Amino acid sequence: MTAEAPRGADAPPELIQLLTPEGERVEHPDYDIDLTAEEVRSLYRDLVLVRRVDLEAVALQRQGELGLWASLLGQEAAQVGSGRALTDADMAFPTYREHGVAWCRDVDPVKLLGMFRGVNHGGWDPYEHNFHLYTIVIGSQTLHAVGYAMGIQRDGAEAAAIVYFGDGATSQGDVNESFIWASVFNAPVVFFCQNNQWAISEPLEKQTRIPLYKRASGFGFPGIRVDGNDVFACLAVTRKALADARSGQGPTLIEAFTYRMGAHTTSDDPTRYRVAGELEAWKLKDPIERVKAYLFKNQLADQEFFDKVDAEADALGKDVRRRCLELPDPGPEALFDHVYGAPHALVDEEREQYLAYLAGFETGAER
């Protein structure tokens, strides 16, 4: 330990990496992954397509078609790698930024856009995709995930839950409480923290004095740091953590070390609080470029393949834009839908009152 190291710091953090930023494969004794050329091409396609959907959503917001958008730019590998590690039976609990995981769960991107356009309250059936609704209240979904995991544990299901949250969320009480519950009940849950270095304008050093993954040991379960810009490593590490959870070995905290390359949301201007050099340094670790380099170097894909993926991405961007603009505005009564799972007398009464109130404006009879 050097004189400058913070009190309590011990060994330097280990980072699981299977693919370097230059596209070189690295072996790791605990995290071997054997991907076919087809599987690597498929991961590359996922990464490119989710980045394209994200880009289109940012443009739509800038043109006034969405109220807000939270970009995943830079975090594609963390999301696609972990998302592709899930089985159909596993359940994912996202924040508001997990568009790449939504993609892996076959949620139509237009449904995500609908929420940010204000025409739905979530837009998809969580059980149809085993992908919970987006959660804005920071960290609260960790409690939902642990509760769900304890439920499937009691059902004896061959499944696990995975919950996504950010570096900033680790300072929330909910997240720490969920760690305790998961630990003492040995719940089949994977805590997937995307450490993108920022919580809006608050840097990582204001959240923690030790690497986040090391927090897990204090709660009594393993923590691991993975290169969040390495889709192979994210896939391998998440696969193992999920398998451990399903086989009764309890929770794991995965810290995916990555970077939010864009603004926090479209309402934010990161040039006010972070230096440009930081972004430039992370651009060299781009999650897509390294897979492309790997495919090229190993002659697993040719230019025709890359052109085809780019064309598919453009077509997807256009299609998402067109269908977003065509989304119907819901009637005001839709506000009362889905408050409960079944009809409810009080909600019905409130809906009627509200519609009568609105009708008053048309006739001028009621105020």
Ligand X SMILES: Cc1ncc(C[n+]2csc(CCOP(=O)(O)OP(=O)(O)O)c2C)c(N)n1
Q: How far is the CB of 239 from ligand X (least distance, A)?
A: 23
Instruction: Spell out, one character per residue from 168 to 207, where the chain touches Mg ion: x when CB under 5 A holds, - when not.
Output: x---------------------------x--x--------
Nearer Cβ to ligand X (25/206): 206
Distance CA 213, CA 221 (A): 10
Does position 105 interact with ligand X (CB under 6 A)? The reply is: no
Residue choice 196, 238, 252, 266 for contact with ligand X (CB under 6 A)? 196
Q: Is 326 helix (H, G, I), strand (E, B) or coil?
A: coil
In the stretch 249-268, what mask flags binding to ligand X with x, by CB under 6 A?
-----------x---x----
SS3 92: strand
Could you tell me which stretch among 108-116, 143-151, 162-170, 307-315 binds ligand X (CB under 6 A)? 162-170
> How many residues make contact with Mg ion (CB under 5 A)?
5
168 binds ligand X, rule: CB under 6 A: yes
Token look-up 């270095």 returns 197
Q: Are 54 and 95 in contact (CB under 8 A)?
A: no
Contact call for residues 260 and 198 (beta carbons, < 8 A) = yes
Q: Does 279 bind ligand X (CB under 6 A)?
A: no
Q: Is 259 a catalytic residue?
A: no
**Least distance to ligand X, CB of residue 141, Å:** 11
Instruction: Tell which one of 90, 167, 244, 286 touches Mg ion (CB under 5 A).
Output: 167
CA angle, residues 314, 316, 319, in degrees to nearest 5: 110
Given the residues 25, 62, 273, 338, select the one marked as catalytic: 273
169 touches ligand X (CB under 6 A) = yes
Q: Which CB sits closer to Mg ion, 101 or 199? A: 199
Among ligand X, Mg ion, none, residue 214 binds (CB under 5-8 Å by kind): none
- Choosing from 117, 144, 225, 264, the catalytic residue is 264
Residue 93 binds ligand X, judged by CB under 6 A: no
Q: Treating both helix axes as pointing N-terminal to C-terminal, what angle do 303-325 and 109-117 enclose, rounded to 10 degrees?
A: 40
Asked about 209 being catalytic, the answer comes back as: no
Half-sphere exposure of 34 (CA within 13 A, CB side): 0
With contacts defined by CB under 6 A, name the span among 84-92, 134-142, 154-162, 309-317 that binds ligand X.
134-142
Q: Clarify whether 129 is annotated catalytic.
A: no
> Which of 168, 287 has the CB closer to Mg ion?
168
H-helix segments, the chain: 37-62, 76-83, 99-104, 109-117, 126-129, 140-155, 173-184, 215-219, 231-246, 276-283, 287-297, 303-325, 345-363
In whole angstroms, what is the distance from residue 295 CA to residue 223 CA? Answer: 31
Q: How far is CA 279 from the centre of its chain?
A: 20
Among 136, 281, 339, 356, binds ligand X (CB under 6 A): 136
Give the Cα separation of 54 and 304 in Å (integer).
24
One-character DSSP codes across 188-243: -EEEEEEE-SEETTEEGGGT-SS-GGGHHHHHTS-EEEEETT-HHHHHHHHHHHHH
Least distance to ligand X, CB of residue 76, Å: 14
145 binds, among ligand X, Mg ion, none (CB under 5 to 8 A by kind): none
Of 1, 5, 89, 137, the one binding ligand X (CB under 6 A) is 137
CA dihedral angle for residue 59, residue 61, residue 62, residue 65, rounded to 10 degrees: 100
Which residue number places its CB atom closest to ligand X? 166
| CB of 137 vs ligand X, minimal distance in Å | 5
Four-residue CA torsion sign, 68, 74, 78, 80: positive
Query: Which residues of this chain interact with Mg ion, rule CB under 5 A?
Result: 166-168, 196, 199
Query: Which residues of this chain interact with ligand X, rule CB under 6 A?
Result: 97, 136-138, 165-169, 196, 198-200, 260, 264
Query: Active-site residues: which are they?
Result: 260, 264, 273
